[in-house]
């Protein structure tokens, strides 16, 4: 069982965290999405590891796929944008810079994946849901194939992160030069990384149709924000937590209000 869990996280990078980030990003940046578009965006971010990675983890092929979909109101289009969002966040996770929150590979990296999924489960209240068959067929029709084992590994990853409070390992997996001694300090630093991810994603998502964008271009944007993250002082800890949830709650309420009006 433990071997399956390890393999799961090795193959399926943080489905809960990608769901939480994509949900947060969609609510704050695309407040007028329909429920179907919103869920398709999240599913794209989650399933990016469950499809052909030579496409889903490469900038140039993904831009081509996005540009091939003419109906920008379709669920397929928003699913592809979700995959593109995944690329931006993955670049943070595998950067391997001095200022990175986690190491880029190896056993400790996979432990970090479990911890970040656990954090998402406990703080962002993710849920278990899967891609509808009609959307899956549309994705397959444009040449993006699905991995057969993902449908088994994804639930293993999800429920393991849900019931094991691995986020308490943050002080031990944290690798930046900041002097982190407690969970609250590590949590504060992680939230600063989240803020940097949002800002980098804003720039990268704006280039989702740019055929000149490359992997190097994405890395340049991400590294710029990553290298500017400042260490948390003790006085910053509570303020960072309150600020994060105040923004998240207000944006969530705005989305709900918009949906009520549309109904």
Are residues 48 and 62 in contact, defined by beta-carbon separation less than 8 angstroms?
Answer: no
pLDDT band at 258 (very low <50, low <70, confident <90, very high): very low
How far is 105 from 166, CA to CA, in rounded Å?
Answer: 18
- CA 91, 147, 125, 87: dihedral to nearest 10 degrees? 20
Give the Cα-Cα-Cα angle 201, 93, 89 (nearest 5 degrees).
20
Confidence of residue 240 (pLDDT cuts 50, 70, 90): low
Residues 6 or more apart from 95 whose CB is under 8 A from it? 104, 219, 222, 223, 226
124 by DSSP, 3-state: which?
coil
Q: What is the pLDDT, as a whole number, of residue 113?
A: 84
Residue 184 CA to residue 119 CA, distance in Å, equals: 12
Query: What's the burial of 137, exposed, middle or buried (CB within 10 Å: 0-12/13-18/19+)?
Result: exposed
Taking the C-alpha atoms of residue 210 and residue 217, their distance in angstroms, rounded to an integer, is 11
> Quick one: which of 169, 200, 165, 174 has its CA closest to 84?
200
Note the pLDDT tens digit of each residue in 129-144: 899 999 999 999 999 9
Q: Looking at residues 178-195, what average pLDDT do you find?
A: 91
List, for residues 39-75, the tens digit of each pLDDT value.
999 999 999 999 999 999 999 999 999 999 999 999 9
Strands (E), the chain: none
239 confidence band (pLDDT: 50, 70, 90)? low
Q: How far apart are the two ends of the chain, measured CA to CA in Å?
A: 46
Q: Sorting pLDDT into bands at 50, 70 and 90, what band is 242?
A: low
| Residues 6+ away with beta carbon under 8 Å from 191 | 240, 241, 244
| Integer angstrom CA distances of residue 187 from 128, 145, 164, 216, 228 | 24, 37, 17, 29, 18
Q: What is the pLDDT of residues 174-183, one digit of tens each?
A: 888 888 889 9
């Amino acid at each position: 069982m433990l071997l399956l869990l390890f393999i799961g996280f090795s193959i399926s990078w943080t489905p809960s965290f990608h769901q939480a980030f994509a949900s947060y990003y969609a609510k704050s940046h695309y407040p007028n999405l329909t429920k179907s578009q919103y869920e398709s965006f999240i599913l794209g971010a989650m399933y990016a590891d469950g499809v052909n990675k030579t496409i889903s983890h490469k900038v140039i092929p993904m831009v081509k796929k996005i540009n091939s979909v003419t109906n920008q109101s379709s669920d397929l289009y928003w699913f592809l944008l979700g995959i593109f969002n995944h690329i931006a966040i993955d670049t943070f996770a595998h950067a391997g810079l001095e200022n990175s929150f986690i190491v880029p590979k190896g056993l400790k990296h996979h432990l970090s994946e479990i911890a970040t999924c656990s954090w998402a489960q406990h703080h962002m209240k993710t849920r278990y849901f899967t891609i509808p068959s009609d959307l899956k067929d549309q994705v397959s029709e444009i040449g993006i194939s699905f991995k057969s084992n993902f449908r088994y590994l994804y639930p293993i990853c999800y429920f393991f992160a849900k019931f094991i409070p691995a986020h308490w390992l943050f002080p031990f997996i944290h690798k930046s030069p900041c002097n982190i001694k407690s969970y609250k300090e590590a949590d504060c630093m992680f939230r600063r990384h989240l803020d940097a991810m949002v800002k980098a994603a804003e720039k990268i998502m704006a280039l989702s149709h740019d055929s000149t964008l490359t992997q190097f271009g994405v890395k340049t944007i991400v590294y710029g924000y990553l290298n500017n993250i400042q260490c948390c002082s003790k006085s910053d800890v509570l303020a960072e937590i309150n600020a994060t949830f105040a923004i998240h709650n207000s944006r969530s309420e705005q989305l709900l209000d918009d949906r009520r009006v549309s109904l």
